[in-house]
Amino acid sequence: MKMKESRFGRTNKIVNISGFTVIAAAWLLVASLNLFQKDRPEISEAEQRALAGFPEVNISTVVDGSAFRGIDNFVTDTFFMRDFLVKSQQKFSVLYGLDLITGDSGRIAYIPPAATGRQDEAGQIVTPDASGESPGSGGGFPEEAVPTFSEAGQLPETDYLKNGVLIYKNAAYSMADYYEAGARQFVAVAEQYADAFPHTRIIILPAPLSAMLLDGNEFKGALLDQRQSLLEIQAMCEATADSSTAVAETPGDLSAGSSPDTIRPAIGPKVRFVFVFDELWAHRGEYIYFYSDHHWTARGAYYAYRCFAGAAGFQPAGISSMKETIIGEPFVGGLYTFTGDERIKAFRDTLYAYFPVKPHTMKVYDKDWNIMEFGSSILTFGSNYSNFIAGDNPLTVINVPDNPEGLSILVIKDSYGNAMVPFLTEHYNTIYVVDPRHGSIKLREYFKNIPLTDILFLNHLNLNSTTSWVQTLQNLLAE
Amino acid sequence: MLFSSLLFIYIFLPALLICYFTVRRNSQRRAVLLLFSLVFYAWGEPVYIILMIGLVFVNYIFGLLINKTESLRERRLLLILAVIVDLCPLFFFKYLSFMTGIINGLFPVEISVPGVALPLGISFFTFQAMSYIFDLYRGTAECQKSFARLLLYISFFPQLVAGPIVRYADIEKQLEDRKMNIEDINEGLFRFTAGLLKKVLIANTCGRAADAILGADLNRTSVFGSWIGILFYAMQIYYDFSGYSDMAIGLGRIFGFRFKENFNYPYISRNVTEFWRRWHISLGSFFRDYVYIPIGGNRRYWARNAFIVWSLTGLWHGASWNFVIWGVYYGILLIAEKALLLRLFARLPGIISAVVSYVYMAAVTLFGWTLFYFSDNIIGGTGRFLGIGVQASEIFSIALLRDNAVILIVAAVFAAPVVPALSCRMKKILPENRYVIASRVAKTAFTAAGIALGTMLLAGSSYNPFLYFRF
C-alpha cells in the first residue's frame, strides 16, 4: 500500500511538473516573442487605422496616468501576431450566436460581388438616373453592377446587428447614436474655440451615418432619427451667443453670397452649423455610402461639401468639372473587420475619386512629425478610404496657390473628413487638417501667428455626443 | 492595470513570477510582492497611491495604540477614531458630492464641491484597513508590528482594487509564512484562467449586448428588449465580478495565499436570504460581523438592523440614489422573507415550492439589477420593464438575442454548479488516484487552452472595463 501511494505520489508530481512546465514554457515563449519582437507594426491593415505608439513618458504624463494607459494601449495594439489573433477572434465570435446551432439559417443571400446595388424603399435595385451627375455616369455603381431585381435573385428580408452594424438586404450599415447632454458639451467646447480664435468662424458639420439610408422602411422608428438629432445640434448652435462683436474682423459670413469676394463681417451665432442630412437624403439612391465600409463615399462627401460651401459663402464646384477616377480594384471595407461577418465580404466596394481642378500640394506629418509630401490630396496607389488625404494623420497641410492668400481653414476631423477635404481645395489657399486621434497638437501655439478664416469640426454624428471625443477637442486648446 | 490585459498577463505577471521564485527567503519574497503590488496600483493611480499608503500608515499607528492600551474604554475610543479617519477619504471622494447634492436640494443653499475622480479600489482597501482594526480590537488578530507587512496585506495586488475583501484575521498567518508547492501553482493558474475566461468571453460579450439594448434611447427599447437586456446584464455582472474574484483567488494561490470564496453560484438561490449568502460573500460577512451583529443583530430590533445594513450595502456600491434604493429593496425583501415569505414557501408542496421560489428569485433579481443599472433615470429605466410607453418588441433585441444566444446559454449553464457536479460524478466513477491524475491533466489542458483563447480575445478587444472598479 505504501509502495502504491508512493508510486501515485511520483506520478502525480510528474504530471504536475510536466503540466506546469508546458504552460510556463509556452507562456514565457509568447511573452519573450512579444517583448523582443523587432519592427512592431504601426498600421493595422485589417482595421485600417494607425496602431498606438509608445507614449511620451515624462512627469506630467506619469502623474496624470496617461503614460501608463498609453503603454497599455501600445502593448495591446502591437502584441505579437495581433492581426492573426484579431482575425481569429472575429471568426470565433460567430460561435456566440444561433448560427452555431442552425448553420446558415437562410436569413441572408450571399450576393455576388458584381450584383451589389442598393435597393430603394420599394425593393428595387437603384439604377443610375439620366442626369449628368447620376451614379452611372458621375460615379455610382459600376456599369456591370446594376442588375435588375430578378437578376440579383431572391433577396430575402434580413436584419442583423453586431457592434453597431446592421446588415440589411445587400449592404452593411453603421448605426448612429446620439445623446443630448454630450452634444451640449460638444457645442460648449466649440464655443471655447470661438473665444480662443475670435477672428475665425467656427463651424460644425456632423456627418450622418449610413443607417440614414434605412429611414423610410421597416426600420423607421427603431433606428435613431439622425435628422432630428442633427436638428437638435443645429438648435444648440443657433442658441450660442451672438458673435457680432466677437468676430467683427471675421473675413467671412456663412450666410453671405456665393464667392469669397462677398464675404463680410458676420452677425450670427458663435458656432455655426451645416445641415447635410436633407442633401444626402435627396441623393440616397446614389452611391453615397460604401456597402462594406463605415464611411461615406467621395460622392457622399461631395454633397456634404456642397452644403458647406453654400453655407460658407462659396460657389460650390460642380462634380462634373472634376475628373472622376476609379482607383484600384474593388475592396472590402472596414465593416468586415469590425464585425468579422463573412457576409460582408460579398458587399464589395469601388473607390471613386473626384480630382480637384486646382493644382495643390500636400504635406503629411506622421506621429513622429516626419513629413511626407504629395502632389495631390488624393493618392492613386492602393485602394481604400486611406487614399483620401493619405488617411488619418496628426497634421496635414494642403497648399493651393491659385486661391487667394489668407483664406485658410483648419479642419478638425475624424476619418469622415478625409473624403471631403479634397473638395475644399476649390476655395482655400491653405487647408490644415488635424486628426486628434493620431497625435496631439497645441492649436493656440501652432496658430498663434497663422490667421485662420474658418475652423471646421467635421466628424460622424456619433462623435458629436461622445464625451471622450469632446474631451480630446478640448485638450487641443490647452495652453 | 487590469488582470484581463495583455500587459498584465505577458509582462507584469511573468516578471513578478520570475522575481518571486528567484529569491528564496520569505522576507525577500514579501518585498517582491510588495514592490510589484505598489507598481500595480500606481499603474492605475499614480497619485492616489500616496493616499493608500497614508491610510495604511494611519491604521498601523492606530493598531499599535490599540495594542498598547489596556482600558476597554480607551480601546473603543481609538477604534471609533480609526474608523472615522478611515472613512474620511471614502466620504470625501465617493460621497461628498452626493451629500452636498442632497443638502442643496433640501435647503436653500448652493454648496459646491470640486469634482474629483474616485481612487481605484478605495471602497475595498478602506474596508480591509478597517477589518484589521476591528479584528485587532476584538482580539481575533495580533497587532502587526511591521508596517511593510500591513502594507502588503492591504496593497496585495490580487485583491487590492476589486476584492474580495480579505479580512486580516484570515490572512494574518499567511503573511508571515506560507507553504506552497507545484500543485498550488497549477491550481492557481487554473483558477486564474477560469476567471479570465469568465471575464473576457462571457462577461464582456454579455456586457456588449446589455449596453446595446439598455444604453440605447429609452424610446427605442421595447419591453422584450429591456428584459433581454437586463438578463444579459445579470450575466455580465455575475461573470465580471466572480471572474475577477476567481482571478484574485488564483493569483493569491500561486503565491501561497488562500483567500476565501467570494461567490457560490448565487443564481441557483431559492430566496434572497440564500442569494446574499452566495453573492459577494466577503462584503456580506463584513457587514454581518462588523455592523449587523454589533448593533444588535438578531437579538434586538433585527428589522431595523437589517434595514441599516442594507442601506449601507447599497450605498457602498455607489453614491447614487439608485444604489441606495437597490440596497433598501433587498433589505425589505430580506425582512419580508424572514417575517413571512420563507415560511409560506416552506408550506407549499415540494415541486410547487421550487417553481414558485425560482420564479420569485428570477423576478426579484432581474428587477433588482434594473435598479442597479439605471443610475441616471431609474424611473424611465424601470418603467420600460413594466411596458410603460414602449412597444412590446423590436427587431434589434431579437437579433441581439439570436447573435449571442449561445453565450447566454453557456452563461446560464455555468451559473449552476455543473462543473462540481461533473467532478463529483467522475470521482465516484474513477479510482481516487486516477481521478486526481485525470483531473490534473484536464485542468492543465484547460489552463493552456484558456490562456490561448483569452489572449486571442484580448488582442482585439477594446471593451474591457471591470464593473466593480467604480465601487
Count the domains in chain B: 2
What is the reported pLDDT for A142?
28
pLDDT tens digits for range B28-74: 999 999 999 999 999 877 888 999 999 999 999 999 999 999 888 99
- Domain termination residue (choose one: A70, A94, A118): A94
Number of DSSP helices (H) and strands (E) in chain B, helices first: 24, 0
Q: DSSP character for A453? A: S
Residues B125 and B255 grouped into a single domain: no
Residues B168 and B216 grouped into a single domain: no
pLDDT tens digits for range B128-176: 999 999 999 988 889 999 999 999 999 999 988 777 888 888 888 888 8
Residues A277 and A410 grouped into a single domain: yes
Task: Note whether residue A143 is domain-resident.
Answer: no
What is the reported pLDDT for A242?
65
A470 vs A193: CA distance, rounded Å:
12
Residues A75 and A191 grouped into a single domain: no
Task: Note whether residue B468 is domain-resident.
Answer: no
What is the reported pLDDT for B70?
86
pLDDT at residue B448 above 90? Answer: yes
In angstroms, the separation between the Cα of residue B7 and the nearest Cα of chain A is: 6
Test the B interface: residue of A76, A83, A169 with most B CBs within 10 Å: A76
Q: Would you list the DSSP string of A78-108?
A: T-TTHHHHHHHHHHHGGGGSTHHHHSS-SS-
Contact A40, A71 (CB under 8 A): no
What is the reported pLDDT for B394?
63
Test the A interface: residue of B211, B456, B461 with most A CBs within 10 Å: B456
Contact A423, A302 (CB under 8 A): yes
- Domain termination residue (choose one: B138, B153, B177): B177
How many Cβ pairs within 8 Å bridge chains A and B? 142
**Cα–Cα distances in Å, from B446 out to A4, A23, A41, B164?**
28, 11, 31, 24
Task: Note whether residue B121 is domain-resident.
Answer: yes
Residues B298 and B149 grouped into a single domain: no
Neighboring chain B residues of A12 at a CB cutoff of 8 Å? 433, 436-437, 440
Cell, residue B164: 474580495
pLDDT at residue B453 above 80? Answer: yes
Quick check: A12 and B437 CB within 8 A?
yes
Residue of B nearest to A338 (CA): B460
Name the stretches of chain A with pLDDT < 70: 1-5, 43-50, 97-163, 216-222, 242-268, 340, 382-383
Residues A87 and A204 grouped into a single domain: no
Residue bearing cell 467635421:
A458
Q: Which residues contact B388 (CB under 8 A, 6 or more apart)?
A: none
What is the reported pLDDT for B222?
78
Task: Note whether residue A14 is domain-resident.
Answer: no
Quick check: A23 and B444 CB within 8 A?
yes
Q: Stretch B178-194: mean pLDDT, rounded?
A: 91
Q: Three-state secondary structure along A321-360?
A: HCEEEEEEEEECCHHHHHHCCHHHHHCCEEEEEEECCCCC
Residues B295 and B311 grouped into a single domain: yes
Output the average pLDDT for chain B: 88
b (16+ CB within 10 A) / e for A280-310: bbebbbbbbbbbbbbbbbbbbbbbbbbbbbb
Task: Note whether residue B276 is domain-resident.
Answer: yes
Test the B interface: residue of A47, A87, A96, A108 with most B CBs within 10 Å: A96
Q: Stretch B259-263: mean pLDDT, rounded?
A: 92
The one-letter amino acid at A467: T
In angstroms, the separation between the Cα of residue A471 and the nearest Cα of chain B is: 15
Quick check: B5 and A23 CB within 8 A?
no
Task: Note whether residue A342 is domain-resident.
Answer: no
- Domain termination residue (choose one: B147, B177, B207): B177
Neighboring chain B residues of A10 at a CB cutoff of 8 Å? none
The one-letter amino acid at B31: A
In angstroms, the separation between the Cα of residue B344 and the nearest Cα of chain A is: 40
Residue of B nearest to A74 (CA): B7
Residues B15 and B54 grouped into a single domain: yes
- Residue A411: phi and psi, rounded to 5, are -105, 120
What is the reported pLDDT for B414?
95
Count the domains in chain A: 2
What is the reported pLDDT for A203?
95
How many C-beta atoms surround the C-beta of residue B117 within 10 A? 10
The length of chain B in residues reads 471
What is the reported pLDDT for A47?
60
In angstroms, the separation between the Cα of residue B45 and the nearest Cα of chain A is: 7
Alpha carbon A477 to its chain's center: 22
Q: Which residues contact B44 (CB under 8 A, 6 or more apart)?
A: A65, A68, B1, B120, B161
Q: Has B280 been annotated as catalytic? A: no
Of A15, A28, A97, the CB nearest to B402: A97
Residues A467 and A369 grouped into a single domain: yes
The catalytic residue among B30, B94, B198, B317 is B317
State the Cα angle at A289 between A283 and A291, rounded to 5°: 130
What is the reported pLDDT for B136?
92
- Domain termination residue (choose one: B177, B193, B226): B177
Task: Note whether residue A329 is domain-resident.
Answer: no
Residues B214 and B306 grouped into a single domain: yes
Quick check: B10 and A26 CB within 8 A?
no
Residues B107 and B209 grouped into a single domain: no
Residues B294 and B349 grouped into a single domain: yes
Residue of A nearest to B433 (CA): A8
Quick check: A12 and B46 CB within 8 A?
no
3 state SS of B245:
helix
Residues B332 and B454 grouped into a single domain: yes
Q: DSSP character for B141? A: S
- Using N-to-C axis directions, what is the helix angle for B72-90 and B49-68, rounded to 10°? 170
Quick check: A159 and B444 CB within 8 A?
no
Instruction: Decide if the complex's ipTM is over 0.90.
Output: no
Neighboring chain A residues of B400 at a CB cutoff of 8 Å? 161
Percent share of chain B, pLDDT over 90 = 52
Q: Stretch B109-116: mean pLDDT, rounded?
A: 79
Neighboring chain B residues of A90 at a CB cutoff of 8 Å? 460
Residue of A nearest to B46 (CA): A63
Residues B172 and B225 grouped into a single domain: no
Neighboring chain A residues of B403 at a CB cutoff of 8 Å? 96-98, 160-162
In angstroms, the separation between the Cα of residue B294 and the nearest Cα of chain A is: 41
Residue of B nearest to A100 (CA): B406
Residue of A nearest to B403 (CA): A97
Task: Note whether residue B465 is domain-resident.
Answer: no
In angstroms, the separation between the Cα of residue A373 and the nearest Cα of chain B is: 33
How many C-beta atoms surround the C-beta of residue A336 within 10 A? 22
Residues A90 and A227 grouped into a single domain: no
Segments forming the whole domain that contains residue B365: 184-459
The length of chain A in residues reads 479
Task: Note whether residue B469 is domain-resident.
Answer: no
A467 vs A469: CA distance, rounded Å:
5
Percent share of chain B, pLDDT over 70 = 94
What is the reported pLDDT for A100?
42
- Residue A442: phi and psi, rounded to 5, are -90, 105
A247 vs A177: CA distance, rounded Å:
33
Neighboring chain A residues of B440 at a CB cutoff of 8 Å? 12, 15-16, 19
Residue bearing cell 497648399:
A399
Neighboring chain A residues of B453 at a CB cutoff of 8 Å? 92
Residues A82 and A188 grouped into a single domain: no
Beta bridge partners, A168, equal: A171
Residues B245 and B260 grouped into a single domain: yes
Q: Would you list the DSSP string of A208-267?
A: PPGGGGGTTSTTTTTS--HHHHHHHHHHHHHTSPB-TTTTTT-S--TTS-SSGGG-----
Task: Note whether residue A126 is domain-resident.
Answer: no
Residues B273 and B345 grouped into a single domain: yes
What is the reported pLDDT for B33?
94
Quick check: A68 and B43 CB within 8 A?
yes
**Cα–Cα distances in Å, from A173 out to A208, A290, B403?**
11, 9, 17
Task: Note whether residue B470 is domain-resident.
Answer: no
Task: Note whether residue B75 is domain-resident.
Answer: yes
Task: Note whether residue A472 is domain-resident.
Answer: yes
Residues A89 and A190 grouped into a single domain: no
Task: Note whether residue B242 is domain-resident.
Answer: yes
Of B11, B14, B406, the CB nearest to A98: B406
Residues A272 and A400 grouped into a single domain: yes
What is the reported pLDDT for B224?
85
Neighboring chain A residues of B457 at a CB cutoff of 8 Å? 89, 92
Quick check: B447 and A26 CB within 8 A?
no
Quick check: A16 and B456 CB within 8 A?
no
Segments forming the whole domain that contains residue A428: 178-286+300-324+355-476
- Closest listed residue to residue A153, CA positions, set A102, A195, A189, A111: A111
Quick check: B45 and A65 CB within 8 A?
yes
Quick check: A75 and B7 CB within 8 A?
yes
Test the A interface: residue of B9, B10, B180 with most A CBs within 10 Å: B10
Task: Note whether residue A447 is domain-resident.
Answer: yes
